Amino acid sequence: MDSPAPGARCPLQEQRARWARKRARAARELLETERRYQEQLGLVATYFVGILRAKGTLTPPESQALFGPWERIYGASRELLPHLEEGLWGRGLEGFCPHLELYVQFAANAERAQTTLQELLKKSKRFRRCVRLQEGRPEFGGLQLQDLLPLPLERLQQYETLVVALAENTGPSSPDHQQLTRAARLISETAQRVHTIGQKQKNDQHLRRVQALLGGRHAKGLTSGRWFLRQGWLLVVPPRGEPRPRMFFLFSDVLLMAKPRPPLHLLQSGTFACRALYPMSQCQLRRVFGHSGGPCGGLLSLSFPHEKLLLMSTDQEELLRWYHSLTVAISSQKN
């Protein structure tokens, strides 16, 4: 077999060279960012977790509610970094993976941590003074504790990006190929679990906010167990008469129509009274007009077994967003 002529291009060698460059870039970024990450974890562990514990500023339950498994996450990074510095990517990441459950625990506690921080800052002068003193240290570069608390969750996203890139650009013949592939899979699975936890926490916040807006005992529990999609004002076009503005709350399974309570209502001013619930599983949706993208708004038709709604908006883009959200809700129920 003839050997390639001097200077001839070899596609296989070029591809291997590209993989090597991408691997080196991902490895370098993983190492550099891990050093910075460990430094920030250590600052919080020393100047917040440790000092607040030593001074007795926080009770053990308060410290756990605020920081969760922070110190154990810091310990996991301290185990990982020496392996990365020695270039033992597969061994280091394989040993790190059993600690991933700490990130799931941290994510599950994230909402509680932020709530605890705000409550402590509000009610405890001693805690507030101590936190402000530590935040003023030059090591923190102007960052506040509330900015630092999400750090492990942000780092998990970086782990996923960098470790996947490292694994994808490591050839099957490499001695750490299997270790990196397994680590990339486990980190991606953990990141997905954490994302799901975060989505549920955001949804729960929306549901509590909407429930607070719905006044009256008949509104109790209307949002329970549902996924919030969007809310906003739309005009209800009746068979006769003028269109009436109503507030609509769209959930994964129902569309809730509400009417604002009178501003002079003594107990429930600023809230809404539920007027109707429309099941998305029974909805037929179409755009009556509003297809052209012009400035005149549009009209949506929602048909149910015993009622038909005509909803209007003078904002074309807003109407289009409603149409897409309603389509998603209907599709999710029918599937």
The sheet carrying 254-260 orders its strands as: 272-279, 254-260, 244-251, 228-236, 307-313, 298-304, 284-289
Residue 217: per-residue pLDDT: 66
Residue 3: per-residue pLDDT: 56
Distance CA 187, CA 180 (A): 10
Residue 187: per-residue pLDDT: 98
Distance CA 214, CA 258 (A): 8
Beta-carbon contacts of residue 155 (< 8 Å; ≥ 6 apart): 33, 37
Residue 163: per-residue pLDDT: 97
Residue 279: per-residue pLDDT: 94
Residue 183: per-residue pLDDT: 97
pTM across the whole model: 0.83
Residue 240: per-residue pLDDT: 87
Residue 6: per-residue pLDDT: 58
Residue 222: per-residue pLDDT: 79
304 is written with which tokens? 């149910």
Distance CA 297, CA 243 (A): 14
If we measure between CA atoms, which residue out of 233, 222, 198, 228 comes closest to residue 276?
222
Task: Give the count of beta carbons closer than 10 Å to the beta carbon of residue 4.
Answer: 9
Question: Which parts of the chain have pLDDT scores under 50?
Answer: 1, 292-294
Residue 74: per-residue pLDDT: 98
Domains and CATH numbers, the chain: 11-207 (1.20.900.10), 214-334 (2.30.29.30)
